[in-house]
């Protein structure tokens, strides 16, 4: 039995039983989400490059990026890009292994371009400039990777996961994913990928505020804009009634104002506000839960772009949610569960200094349930290398 596992029952009111709850989700084309997902893809591709060229993953962290908004001029029927977006790619990587030079910068830019091409319909190569500020990793940190069979943590951090998802969290996440689904885009091609959904629950009613960047080439007039917006809301309302039980009220693009022409409408050229209005940054997007829930506990690290074998800011962020979900599913009688994972730099990744499991339960936790929890945590720590390999493959979604 691993002695760093602690179980502390709590008598808190479960999140889903509280009167108020606020949840946010930033969609694929939101500038912050773009930064998270691009940098995470760069890390995945770098990991594969290292494995291919050197036989092992080398030290890197691609968790620093800034997407600088461009400049655009909107118009009915299609505007134009005056100045492209600029993506600044940063942090550290291993450029040289045993005298062998690796094309780190080229790999990073190639990964970013492929991500844009795959995920944003109207963003093309000429719409994004790249500034690479990836430095050479330190000798001390790179030394961690000299023994790939036993990685130690390259940072001191505390991360936390929880289960289960509340109905509010599911509603907010599913609404954004529906708006960004192929079926919705086929029906409403003017709906850009920059979607943000904020949900405010008061008892059993959820008020949804949705921001959707319209693509101006599909809009010929102000009246058409508002007509299509109403039709989108009707379709979203039908989706919510069909898929979620709580009462919901949805509003969209609340800054819109009639009779103001272009200045009263949320229009973009490329389907993202980054083409002329809003910049983005790694770590400001969704949490490891894929939503932003201020009423939930949060760890000290963003997940995106960190290396998947030694940076516990990525590994524990994702693993704590996996463990929490398994505990909630397998241990009966738990309203809610939080799993905290803490480790210090230089300590083995599979031997965290502390795993604190906090089940919310109305009665007493029995020894049988405690043993179940210990077994679940221990099994996940024993299989952590397999879990890291899944992170390398991109199996676990992080935003």
pLDDT digits (tens, 9 = 90+) for 368-383: 999 999 999 999 999 9
* Confidence bin at 106 (pLDDT 50/70/90): very high
Asked if residue 147 has pLDDT above 50, the reply is yes
* Distance of alpha carbon 14 from alpha carbon 360, whole angstroms: 7
Per DSSP bridges, beta strands 191-202 and 205-215 are antiparallel
* Distance of alpha carbon 182 from alpha carbon 193, whole angstroms: 11
The model's pTM is: 0.95
User: What count of other Cβ atoms lies within 10 Å of the Cβ of residue 147?
Assistant: 10
Asked if residue 250 has pLDDT above 90, the reply is yes
Percent of the chain with pLDDT over 70: 99
Q: List % helix, strand, coil for the chain (3-state, nearest 5).
A: 35, 25, 35
* Confidence bin at 399 (pLDDT 50/70/90): confident
Residue 1 is predicted with a pLDDT of 43
* Distance of alpha carbon 247 from alpha carbon 241, whole angstroms: 8
Helices and strands, counts by H and E, the chain: 9, 17
User: What count of other Cβ atoms lies within 10 Å of the Cβ of residue 124?
Assistant: 14
Residue 141 is predicted with a pLDDT of 86
Asked if residue 3 has pLDDT above 70, the reply is no
| Domains and their CATH numbers in the chain | 16-27+166-281 (3.30.300.340)
Residue 298 is predicted with a pLDDT of 92
Asked if residue 354 has pLDDT above 80, the reply is yes
What burial letters (b/e) apply to 350-371, b meaning 16+ CB within 10 Å?
bebeebbbbbbbeeebeeebbe
Q: Which residues contact 375 (CB under 8 A, 6 or more apart)?
A: none
pLDDT digits (tens, 9 = 90+) for 30-61: 999 999 999 999 999 999 999 999 999 999 99
Q: Mean pLDDT for the chain? A: 95
Residue 173 is predicted with a pLDDT of 98
Asked if residue 397 has pLDDT above 90, the reply is no
Residue 127, φ and ψ in degrees, nearest 5: -90, -10
Residue 6 is predicted with a pLDDT of 96
* Confidence bin at 2 (pLDDT 50/70/90): low
Token pair recorded at residue 305: 């772009």
* Distance of alpha carbon 215 from alpha carbon 212, whole angstroms: 10
Asked if residue 223 has pLDDT above 60, the reply is yes
* Distance of alpha carbon 6 from alpha carbon 127, whole angstroms: 51
Token pair recorded at residue 49: 């490059």
The maximal CA–CA distance of the chain, rounded, in angstroms, is 69
Contact present, 39 and 63 (Cβ < 8 Å):
yes
Instruction: Give 146 or 339, the one with higher predicted confidence.
Output: 339
Q: CA torsion sign, 332 to 333 to 338 to 340?
A: negative
pLDDT digits (tens, 9 = 90+) for 164-221: 999 999 999 999 999 999 999 999 999 999 999 999 999 999 999 999 999 999 999 9
Query: Nearest 5 degrees, angle CA 385-CA 391-CA 397?
Result: 145
* Distance of alpha carbon 77 from alpha carbon 270, whole angstroms: 13
* Distance of alpha carbon 310 from alpha carbon 144, whole angstroms: 8
Rg, Å, the chain Cα set? 23
Q: Which residues contact 197 (CB under 8 A, 6 or more apart)?
A: 24, 25, 27, 172, 175, 176, 179, 208, 209, 210, 211
Contact present, 356 and 342 (Cβ < 8 Å):
yes
Q: What's the full length of the chain, in residues?
A: 399
Contact present, 61 and 39 (Cβ < 8 Å):
no
Token pair recorded at residue 47: 């990991």
Contact present, 222 and 274 (Cβ < 8 Å):
no
């Amino acid at each position: 039995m691993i002695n760093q596992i602690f179980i502390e029952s709590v008598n808190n009111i479960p999140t889903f039983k509280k009167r108020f709850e606020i949840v946010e989700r930033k969609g694929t084309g939101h500038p912050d989400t773009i930064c998270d997902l691009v940098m995470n893809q760069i890390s995945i591709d770098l990991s594969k490059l290292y494995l291919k060229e050197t036989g092992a993953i080398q030290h890197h962290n691609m968790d620093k990026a800034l997407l600088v908004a461009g400049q655009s001029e909107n118009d009915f029927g299609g505007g134009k890009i005056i100045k492209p977006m600029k993506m600044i790619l940063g942090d550290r990587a291993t450029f040289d292994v045993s005298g062998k030079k690796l094309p780190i910068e080229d790999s990073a830019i190639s990964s970013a371009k492929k991500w844009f091409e795959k995920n944003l319909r109207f963003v093309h190569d000429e719409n994004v400039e790249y500034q690479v500020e990836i430095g050479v990793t330190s000798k001390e940190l790179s030394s961690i990777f000299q023994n790939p069979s036993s990685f130690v943590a390259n940072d001191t951090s505390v991360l936390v996961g929880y289960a289960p998802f509340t109905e509010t969290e599911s509603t907010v996440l599913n609404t954004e994913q529906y708006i960004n689904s192929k079926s919705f885009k086929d029906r409403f091609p003017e709906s850009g990928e920059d979607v943000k959904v904020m949900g405010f629950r008061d008892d059993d009613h959820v008020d949804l505020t949705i921001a959707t960047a319209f693509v101006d080439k599909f809009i010929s007039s102000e009246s058409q804009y508002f007509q299509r917006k109403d039709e989108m809301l009707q379709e979203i309302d039908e989706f919510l009634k069909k898929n979620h039980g709580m009462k919901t009220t949805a509003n969209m693009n609340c800054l819109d104002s009639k009779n103001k022409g272009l200045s009263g409408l949320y229009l973009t050229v490329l389907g993202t506000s980054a083409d002329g209005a809003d910049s983005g940054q790694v770590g400001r997007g969704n949490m490891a839960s894929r939503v932003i829930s201020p009423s939930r506990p949060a760890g000290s690290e963003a997940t995106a772009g960190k290396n998947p074998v030694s940076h516990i800011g990525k590994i524990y962020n994702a693993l704590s949610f996996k463990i929490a979900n398994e505990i909630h599913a397998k241990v009966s009688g738990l309203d809610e569960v939080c799993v905290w994972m803490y480790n210090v730099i230089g300590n083995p990744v599979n031997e965290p200094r502390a795993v604190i499991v906090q089940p919310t339960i109305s009665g007493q936790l029995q020894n049988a349930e405690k043993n179940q929890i210990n077994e679940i945590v221990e099994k996940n720590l024993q299989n952590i290398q397999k879990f890291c390999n899944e992170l390398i493959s991109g199996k676990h979604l992080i935003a």
